[in-house]
């Protein structure tokens, strides 16, 4: 299954807001509809945003204003801006070929990251913890951290996955569990705040996470909650491994302090799927990402290398 693709002169993508209850494919033929899909996380995940941005430039047909709006649709994942810049630098007639190459490169990168990440982990069978969703739904196929998990499972080396639910939009509870169930991988869902505690309790061999932007010094922006996991992993002596394609590394951003963190609608915190949890009028703060300093990261696995920050 491909999360996003180019079919008959249009973008087709899985509407992730409908999962896990419905598998719905959206067919998008204009940039504003694509921007809306990105904003409400119908399409999400750094690599998938890159592919969406690349195909979006094809739909823009050289319209600079549309391309600028597309590039700014979500600020933290570098892949969106990177892909838009790559494709929009070419004449419009070359855009589709370049966008298809970005799609194909992501597919190949996820296979390579899966193999490289699985090789890095020691032990016959491993129990891993992960946050948010980093599977094929965050890419085109297979995924980054969850791609490593899929490779481990395919090789009979996966003992269990402990998946954080990932408030407030529940990418873990809705999407990661759905992908793990589809591949038949053993897993249990946990609340976010249980992560650091369970790391300290023992029996977890590694934390595997994705990334939205990796600064030049190795600081990593990823889903909110990643930093807390890194602190817990450091305290517990558990390897903390980031899995991301080379396109997520942003050499132009010197360190994590310079990464723009997306602040999302406070109602995502006070409501779940539109059902109000907190008293009317409750204010909320909703940073969608945090930054893990490079000194808390054991390794960064890309399709080309393993980096020890
Ligand atoms: C394979 S990277 C996926 C990355 O993107 C997620 O954020 P969002 O769901 O808001 O797009 C999360 O940070 C994941 O690690």
Best residue among 40, 42, 45 to mutate for probing ligand 1, ranked by most atoms within 8 Å of CB: 45
pLDDT exceeds 80 at position 75: yes
Q: Could you give the angle at the alpha carbon of 296 between the alpha carbons of 291 and 302, nearest 5°?
A: 75
Mean of all residue pLDDT scores within the chain: 98
Within 6 A (CB) of ligand 1 lie 44-47, 132, 134, 138-139, 144, 171, 209-210, 212, 222-223, 288
Q: Please indicate, yes or no, whether residues 72 and 120 belong to a single structural domain of this protein.
A: no
State both tokens at 272: 């779940």
- The structure tokens listed for 52 are 């969406």
Helices (H) and strands (E) in the chain, counts: 11, 16
Burial (CB < 10 A; 0-12, 13-18, 19+), residue 122, is exposed
Q: What is the CATH number of the domain that holds 43?
A: 1.20.120.420
Final residue belonging to a domain, choices 83, 106, 129: 106
> pLDDT confidence of 128, banded at 50, 70, 90?
very high
- Of 106, 128, 149, the position where a domain reaches its end is 106
User: Is 251 found in the same domain as 133?
Assistant: yes
Residues 290, 207: one domain?
Answer: yes
Do 182 and 82 lie in one domain? The reply is no
Q: The pTM is what?
A: 0.98
User: Of 79, 106, 133, which closes a domain?
Assistant: 106
Active site residue 212: yes
286 annotated binding-site participant:
no
User: How does pLDDT run across 179-206, given as a tens digit for each residue?
Assistant: 999 999 999 999 999 999 999 999 999 9
Strand partners, 186: none
Give nearest CA residue, ligand 1 atom 8.
45
Query: Is 223 annotated as ligand-binding?
Result: yes
- Residues 19 and 153 grouped into a single domain: no
Give the sheet arrangement for strand 25-28, strand by strand.
4-7, 10-14, 25-28
The encoded tokens of residue 166 equal 């990932």
Do 28 and 144 lie in one domain? The reply is no
Q: Both 21 and 127 in a single domain?
A: no
Measured distance CA(291)–CA(300) in Å, rounded:
14
pLDDT tens, position by position, 203-246: 999 999 999 999 999 999 999 999 999 999 999 999 999 999 99
Asked whether residue 90 falls in the same domain as residue 155, the answer is no
Q: Is 171 assigned a ligand-binding role in the annotation?
A: yes
Give SS3 for 108: helix
- Mean pLDDT confidence for 8-26: 98
Q: Are residues 101 and 118 in the same domain?
A: no
Strand order in the sheet with 306-307: 187-190, 158-164, 126-130, 206-209, 240-243, 299-301, 306-307
Between the CA of residue 221 and those of 83, 244, 272, what are the distances in Å?
18, 11, 24
Q: For residue range 130-162, what is the model confidence (pLDDT) as tens digits?
A: 999 999 999 999 999 999 999 999 999 999 999
- Region 48-63: mean pLDDT is 98
**217 DSSP assignment:** T
Q: What is the pLDDT of residues 257-276, one digit of tens each?
A: 999 999 999 999 999 989 99
96 and 22 together in one domain = yes
List CB contacts of 257: < 8 A, sequence separation 6 or more: 219, 291
Range of the domain at 135: 114-307
Percent with pLDDT over 90 in the chain: 99
**Atom 15 (ligand 1): residue with closest C-alpha?**
210
Nearest in space to 104 (alpha carbons), one of 141, 150, 132, 129: 141
Looking at the structure, do residues 118 and 34 belong to the same domain, yes or no?
Answer: no
For 26, phi then psi, to 5°, come to: -95, 140
Nearest-atom number in ligand 1 for the CA of 48 is: 1
Same-domain status, 80 and 173: no
309 pLDDT exceeds 90?
A: no
Contact criterion met (CB below 8 Å) for 139 and 110:
yes
243-257 pLDDT, tens digit each? 999 999 999 999 999
Tell me how many domains the chain contains.
Answer: 2
Summarize pLDDT for 89-104 with one digit per residue, the tens.
999 999 999 999 999 9
> Torsions phi, psi of 277, nearest 5?
-100, -45
């Amino acid at each position: 299954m491909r999360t996003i693709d180019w079919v008959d002169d249009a973008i087709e993508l899985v509407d992730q807001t409908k999962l896990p209850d419905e598998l719905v494919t959206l067919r998008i033929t204009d940039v504003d509809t694509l921007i809306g899909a990105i904003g409400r996380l119908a399409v999400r995940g750094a690599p998938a945003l890159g592919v969406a941005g690349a195909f979006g430039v094809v739909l823009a047909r050289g319209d600079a204003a549309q391309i600028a709006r597309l590039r700014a649709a979500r600020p933290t994942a570098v892949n969106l801006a990177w892909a838009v810049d790559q494709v929009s630098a070419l004449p419009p007639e070359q855009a589709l070929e370049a966008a298809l190459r970005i799609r194909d490169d992501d597919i190949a990168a996820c296979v390579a990251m899966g193999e490289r990440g699985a090789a890095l982990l020691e032990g016959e069978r491993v129990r891993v913890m992960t946050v948010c969703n980093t599977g094929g739904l965050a890419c085109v196929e297979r995924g980054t951290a969850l791609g490593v998990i899929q490779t481990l499972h395919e090789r009979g080396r996966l003992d269990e996955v402990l998946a954080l639910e990932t408030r407030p939009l529940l990418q873990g509870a809705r999407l990661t569990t759905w992908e793990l169930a589809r591949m038949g991988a053993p897993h249990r869902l946990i609340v976010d705040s249980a992560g650091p505690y369970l790391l300290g309790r023992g029996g977890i061999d590694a934390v595997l996470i994705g990334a939205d932007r990796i600064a030049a010094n190795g600081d990593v922006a990823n889903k909110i909650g990643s930093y807390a996991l890194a602190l817990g992993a450091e305290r517990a002596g558990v390897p903390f491994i980031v899995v991301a394609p080379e396109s997520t590394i942003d050499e132009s951003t010197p360190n994590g302090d310079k990464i723009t963190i997306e602040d999302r609608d406070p109602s995502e915190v006070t409501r779940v799927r539109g059902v109000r949890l907190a008293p009317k009028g409750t204010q909320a703060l909703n940073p969608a990402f945090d930054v893990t300093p490079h000194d808390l990261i054991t390794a960064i696995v890309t399709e080309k290398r393993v980096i020890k920050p």
